[in-house]
Structure 1
Amino acid sequence: MTTWHCLSVKPEELRLDTTLNCGQSFRWVNTGDNQWTSVLSGRIITLRQTDDDILYRTPDDNVGHVEEVLRDYFQLDVDLGELYKQWRTDANFEKKAGRFMGIRILRQDPVENLFTFICTSNNNIQRITTMVNKLCQHYGTEIGTIYEVSKPFYTFPTVARLAHEDVENELRQLGFGYRAKYISQTARYIMEHHDETWLRGLRNLPYEECREELLKLAGVGPKVADCVCLMSMDKPGAIPVDTHVWQIAKRDYKLSGLASKTLTQKNYLVIGDRFRTIFGTHAGWAHSVLFTADLRQFEHRLISSEETKSNVVLEGTKREVSQARRPKKTAGVTVFDRYPRRKRQILEGKHGIVEKK
């Protein structure tokens, strides 16, 4: 059994169940109670949310640099609690914040982020996930398995591999439709005019310049460009606007001039500017919280019911938690961490070892 290691991050700073399931990344696999597994930096990494921490482990128990990778991926240098405090001055955000704590923007690999979001055009989460998995299975490299699930894990393919001449036809046969052409054309454009490192280099450009470069790519419109700017290019003020965000802007922020039946370019810019005015430099992060709260799979959190709720204290903050959503208090391992007066109850389906940092 491999060892669990503590990331030392509180739930109000990171909630895995929402952050990993709100349409940012489509490769995290649920591999147990409050447990998810994916591939980061060429390594299989499993995460587990406990009552007061995040645990991580790797199949081979070699976790060198994994904490560094995770802190970069979840941008843990950003004080999310302070940002929520600032955003709560907005009445609409305040209504939803208590049930949607700990939602962070992932700092993803630009190649994976770009080609993943080319797949999102007129698509749903289940089908996007299937497409991304097919990309990895057919063009990535298999790197191993974990005991909880039988299927292997793969790296995301390189731009060079996706630029091969046969890729478009193969992707059409795999069910990608018109997106096959976009993926092939974008990969070939990058390799013909730049190289594998070009996308990562866009992080150094100002937001507007970075966005303009992305808009040159096949299959990349304003929304996809802003998703990539926000989720892999270090542009926290980027606001991807889709029908969900458009409805939020009209319903909750009463923006005038948004009465048209379609999302026009003018409306797109107006919505982005309004969110940046309200929420500041990290407006894209705040937008993600509001977007997540509007998703159907999380609507139960906004339903009030006196019979199914109780008040609990979480790290000094009083919050309401649905009894139906509370984890079972099964047998576990009590571990003392760097805070000597505080215990942690680590919920284990199959008890692993927890290493103190």
Structure 2
Amino acid sequence: MRLRTASGTCPRLWRALPCPPAELRLDLVLPSGQAFRWRESSPGAWTGVLAGRVWTLRQERDRLWYTVYGEEEEDGRPTGAAKPHSAETDQILRDYFQLDVGLQALYRTWGAADPLFREVADDFPGVRVLRQDPVECLLSFICTSNNHISRITAMIERLCQAFGRRLCCLDGQPFHAFPSLSALTGADAEAQLRALGFGYRAKFVSGSARAVAEGIGAEGLCRLRAAPYAEARRVLCALPGVGTKVADCVCLMALDKAEAVPVDTHVWRIARQRYGAALGGKSLTPRAHQEIGDFFRGLWGSHAGWAQAVLFCADLRKGQEPAGSRDQNWEGCGQDSCRDGPR
């Protein structure tokens, strides 16, 4: 397996991990709105940035193949070859996709508890929750309020190009690392973000970057992985632009809180219309968030957030909701219950 790019970078080294489609489907997970740094660079191949490196991933039968590109030289020329792969790069992918979690067993457990889950499970195998860098996940999801996936992806790309370190260029497209906290805490960071089209979110991105940098730091954010779910959510909700839904997204997708169920109007509608749950009254209040999360945790168990990710994927692919509804997963917070919107 070889891939040559127009820039001259030719990754000669590919490495494979054992990973059947029932445990991971790249085509379902990577474009589902969990992360915003991946694109389908050719049929079946996904290229993106992970852990400060540029990767291409693809699946063949029961193997997950990957290559990692070398960084540019100081004069801007590509190194011309992939970086050597090793047990370290294997572990980065295993950690990112949480491959130590047996997904097929979870599907069986959820299906036994929930007939509605059984209806979609066979058509949507391998939907996993990613384990992302907490800083990147936090600042990315602040950008999701009142937004849709394609626009969020473009915003994150502009953010990385403006503030992140350049890694390499493939097929004429430059790739950049996600910005460090320090890069986003300068006096003119908010103005720069507004110029990049972030609107009111510019204040929240720069404000949260500054609050984390001056408070618990990136290391402290990572340490929330070991904290109880309620404590992690409380710390996150104290940050500028972070409400209950965004906090739950970060808890689920970066802080190892598999029980976190991000709730917006879309999830609320699923709970009420498909499950007949009389939850939340007439508006999506903090109490409603808690009740709906508790309902799904009671139904699906300790990995309730993972089960919800499968249903989201099913909605997206089957078109069960109006056009663009999956994007509305990031639009539907009522102002009475979340601090993610404009003020």
Q: Per the shorter chain, which TM-score range? A: 0.7 to 0.9
Deviates more, 1:242-251 or 1:101-110: 242-251
Are the aligned partners of 2:38 and 2:47 in contact in 1 as well (CA < 8 Å)? yes
Alignment partner of 1:196: what SS? helix
Distance 2:272 2:213 in 1: 41
Q: CA deviation at 1:49?
A: 1.8
Distance 2:204 2:146 in 1: 14
Residue 15 of structure 2 is aligned to residue 5 of structure 1: yes
Are the aligned partners of 2:279 and 2:291 in contact in 1 as well (CA < 8 Å)? no
Alignment partner of 1:143: what SS? strand
Q: Which amino acid aligns with 2:302?
A: T
Q: Deviations over 1:240-292 (max 9, x none)?
A: 011221111111110114451x3222221111001000111111100111122
Q: What is residue 293 of structure 2 aligned with on the other side?
A: 272
Q: Which amino acid aligns with 1:79?
A: G
- Superposed CA RMSD: 1.5
Distance 2:125 2:104 in 1: 9
Alignment partner of 2:47: what SS? strand
Q: Which amino acid aligns with 1:144?
A: C
Q: What is residue 73 of structure 1 aligned with on the other side?
A: 96
Q: CA deviation at 1:300?
A: 5.7
Distance 2:55 2:85 in 1: 9
Q: Which runs of 4+ in 1 moved over 3 A?
A: none
- Using structure 2 for the length normalisation, give the TM-score: 0.84
Distance 2:183 2:228 in 1: 29
Are the aligned partners of 1:34 and 1:50 in contact in 2 as well (CA < 8 Å)? no
Are the aligned partners of 1:244 and 1:294 in contact in 2 as well (CA < 8 Å)? no
Q: What is residue 131 of structure 1 aligned with on the other side?
A: 155
Q: CA deviation at 1:185?
A: 1.0
Structure 1 unaligned segments of length 5 or more: list them: 303-357
Q: Which amino acid aligns with 2:38?
A: W
Percent of aligned pairs with the same amino acid: 48
Alpha carbons of structure 1 residues 45 and 257: separation in structure 2 relative to 1, 3 Å: closer
The alignment covers a number of residue pairs equal to 297
Are the aligned partners of 2:13 and 2:85 in contact in 1 as well (CA < 8 Å)? no
Aligned positions of 1:54-93 closer than 5 A = 54-59=64-69, 60-64=82-86, 65-89=88-112, 90-93=114-117
Structure 2 unaligned segments of length 5 or more: list them: 3-11, 70-81, 322-343
Q: Which amino acid aligns with 2:200?
A: Y
Distance 1:126 1:102 in 2: 23
Residue 205 of structure 2 is aligned to residue 186 of structure 1: no
Alpha carbons of structure 1 residues 54 and 208: separation in structure 2 relative to 1, 3 Å: same
Aligned positions of 1:162-173 closer than 5 A = 162-173=184-195
Residue 222 of structure 2 is aligned to residue 200 of structure 1: yes
Alpha carbons of structure 1 residues 31 and 203: separation in structure 2 relative to 1, 3 Å: same
Match of residue 98, structure 1, among 109, 112, 122? 122
Q: What is residue 312 of structure 1 aligned with on the other side?
A: none
Q: What is residue 299 of structure 1 aligned with on the other side?
A: 318
Deviates more, 1:193-202 or 1:81-90: 193-202
Match of residue 63, structure 2, among 32, 40, 53? 53
Are the aligned partners of 1:250 and 1:258 in contact in 2 as well (CA < 8 Å)? no
Q: Which amino acid aligns with 2:290?
A: L
Distance 1:108 1:158 in 2: 15
Q: What is residue 141 of structure 2 aligned with on the other side?
A: 117
Structure number with higher strand proportion: 1
Distance 1:195 1:83 in 2: 34
Q: CA deviation at 1:217?
A: 0.2
Q: What is residue 226 of structure 1 aligned with on the other side?
A: 248
Aligned positions of 1:9-28 closer than 5 A = 9-28=19-38
Distance 2:63 2:178 in 1: 28
Q: CA deviation at 1:51?
A: 3.0
Are the aligned partners of 1:118 and 1:183 in contact in 2 as well (CA < 8 Å)? yes
Larger radius of gyration: 1
Q: CA deviation at 1:219?
A: 0.6
Are the aligned partners of 2:280 and 2:287 in contact in 1 as well (CA < 8 Å)? no
Q: What is residue 334 of structure 1 aligned with on the other side?
A: none
Q: What is residue 161 of structure 1 aligned with on the other side?
A: 183
Alpha carbons of structure 1 residues 55 and 170: separation in structure 2 relative to 1, 3 Å: same
- Using structure 1 for the length normalisation, give the TM-score: 0.81
Aligned positions of 1:246-325 closer than 5 A = 246-258=268-280, 260=282, 262-295=283-316, 298-299=317-318
Q: Deviations over 1:289-309 (max 9, x none)?
A: 1122122xx11699xxxxxxx
